[in-house]
Amino acid sequence: MQNAQTHNDIVLELVARREARKNFLLFIKYTKPDFEINWHHALLAQKLQLFAEGKIKKLMVYLPPQVGKSEMSTRRLPSYVLGKNPDKRIAICAYNQTFASQFNRDIQRIIMDPTYSNVFPGTKLNEKNSKTEGLGNFLRNSEMFEVVGYRGRVKSVGVGGALTGTSVDMGIIDDPIKDAKEAFSGVFRDRLWDWYISVFKTRLHNKSQQLITLTRWHEDDLAGRILKSEPDWEIVTLPAVREDLINDYDPRQIGEAIWPSRHSLERYEEIKRLNPLIYVSLYQQRPYFTKDQSRWAYAFDEQKHVGKCEVNYEHPIWLVFDFNKNPICCSIIQHYDDTIWIPRSFKLPNSDIYKLCDVIWATYGVNNPLFLVTGDATGKNSSALVMDNKNYYTIIKQKLGLSAGQMRQPLSNPKLEENQVLVNALLANYQWVIDEENASAVIFDMQYVKMLPDGTIDKGDRSDPTKQADALDTVRYFCNTEMSWFIKIFT
């Protein structure tokens, strides 16, 4: 009886090995028994199976974090492909060399595992690490390893790194953008594109395959630029929470999470509440949309952002200053109930900080408000000394009777490119109410202030109202002081 059981176990084991050689999903399960298979893994495995067999040449995968995307596409797939074809030359690319090398080491561990040898006994690596090439010596290090006795290899490189001398049969790019700051930087997007065109693509040949897995941060990201010129890519898009019925390969009902046993709907809702921008891009794969890039506040929409509002004395009142003399400007801004409220903006022509403080106090002081102050960082500099040898913020503090804790002026002004990303991200994904009558200066600047090709604000002629941007500057300073958290990643 025991011999019969042993025989059955042997037969089952041999069958499992044979099926793992033929089927990518079964290969994953055989070499990683603790891998929990959800419906989306089966779907992705089908696409990656076709890719491994050469039936899909160019594949893009958009999935939320921590759902097995990299495990399948960047660790297990190269291992499987080298088992099927040990002559395959593969490049693994990530946003930096550290992560690319980590993928490389992970693939080596898979291949060196006994379970892998059970499935693909002919695919082997050098038993020892080797960094130097030589006759009969097969490389094995954290940047490249070669399959013993074959032409196959895996080369790992970070974005910006070289692939010189490396012919690539299969190129895999896994999340080439590190975070939101890089994604919303036009300079970085250009650098990534240049690397893709001048380095990555130059190593491909007519039969080469490409697999790109990424987060759709921005419509002008790597995927967006590629698809403008090469629309023939196969694309798999699975948001964290289904929002429509467009993709018939997604079996979920609207409102269902992708993997509720691992990431609940409640968790996604919390991420959405904390940071809508991160939620729609990182989790829902809806790239951030930019309209008129010549307009600095390109995401401003009068119908969406303009309304009626008044100061609410139950909440702090931000006084946000811009210190040009003609006009001198201060916007009244509040932040509560997950909304930015701008009930008023003062612009006093041919005036000074003393008169502006008098106007503010006459308008709001009788109600004993809690003021918080921020604005142009230059207002604290020695070059900003005015009457009585005091800088602007010292005068504001004294005139309005404020404590040191109420003074929130920044050490330096925000970088324009990063600040533009933040303000427009908030305009696109956060609630605003800008008073149509008393904050008309803010509305005007949002509509008409332009950005120059070098990324600066067009302030060439102070006599032209569209080139003053004083009210816009106050909004920029407020967002930098109070709302900078919005652009951070919640993962």
Neighbours of 171 (CB within 10 A): 24
Q: What is the CATH number of the domain that holds 434?
A: 3.30.420.280
Q: Which comes out higher in pLDDT, residue 280 or 149?
A: 149
- How high is the pLDDT of residue 312? 96
At 384, the pLDDT band (50, 70, 90 cuts) reads: low
Q: Can you give the pLDDT at residue 455?
A: 73
N residues, the chain:
491
Instruction: Give dist(CA 445, CA 468) in Å, integer.
Output: 8
pTM metric for this prediction: 0.70
Q: Which pLDDT value is given to residue 487?
A: 75
Secondary structure tally for the chain: helices H, strands E: 18, 13
Please tell me whether residues 103 and 185 are part of one structural domain: yes
Percentage of residues of the chain with pLDDT beyond 70: 94
Residue with token string 């009210």: 471
pLDDT tens digits, 235-264: 999 999 999 888 999 999 999 999 999 999
pLDDT exceeds 50 at position 489:
no
- Banded pLDDT at 218 (limits 50, 70, 90): confident
130 and 204 share one domain = yes
111 touches 123 (CB < 8 A): yes
Band the pLDDT of 83: cuts 50, 70, 90.
Answer: very high
Assess whether pLDDT exceeds 60 at residue 73. Answer: yes
* pLDDT at 491 exceeding the cut of 50: no
pLDDT single digits (tens) 103-134: 999 999 999 999 999 999 999 999 887 666 65
Share of the chain above pLDDT 90, in %: 69
pLDDT at 434: 97
- Where among 257, 275, 293 does a domain terminate? 275
**Could you tell me if 6 and 89 lie in one domain?**
yes
Q: What is the pLDDT of residues 294-350, one digit of tens each?
A: 789 988 999 999 999 999 999 999 999 998 877 899 999 999 999 999 999 999 988
Tell me the pLDDT tens digit for each residue of 454-479: 778 888 777 788 888 999 999 999 99
Strands ordered across the beta sheet of 431-435: 306-307, 431-435, 339-348, 328-336, 317-322, 371-375
- Check whether residue 47 and residue 184 sit in a common domain: yes
Q: Please answer whether residues 153 and 139 qualify as being in contact, where contact means their C-beta atoms are separated by less than 8 angstroms.
A: yes
- pLDDT score of 166: 81
Is the model more confident about 419 or about 120?
120
* 97 and 245 co-located in one domain: yes
Number of domains in the chain: 2
Residues 267 and 306 in one domain: no
Q: Are residues 220 and 343 in the same domain?
A: no
Mean local confidence (pLDDT), 267-293: 78
| Between 89 and 130, residue with greater pLDDT | 89
Distance in angstroms (rounded) separating the CA atoms of residues 326 and 350: 5
> Residue 263's domain is classified under what CATH number?
3.40.50.300
Note whether 242 and 341 are same-domain residues.
no
- Looking at the fold, whether 260 and 375 belong to one and the same domain comes out as no
The pLDDT-based confidence of 287 (bands split at 50, 70, 90) is: confident
Answer yes or no: do 152 and 188 share one domain. Answer: yes
> Is the omega angle on the peptide bond into residue 327 within 30 degrees of 0, that is, cis?
yes
pLDDT band for position 276 (cuts 50, 70, 90): confident
| Residue 314, pLDDT score | 95
DSSP 173-239: EE----SHHHHT-HHHHHHHHHHIIIIIGGGEEEEEEEEEE----BTTSHHHHHHHH-TT-EEEE--
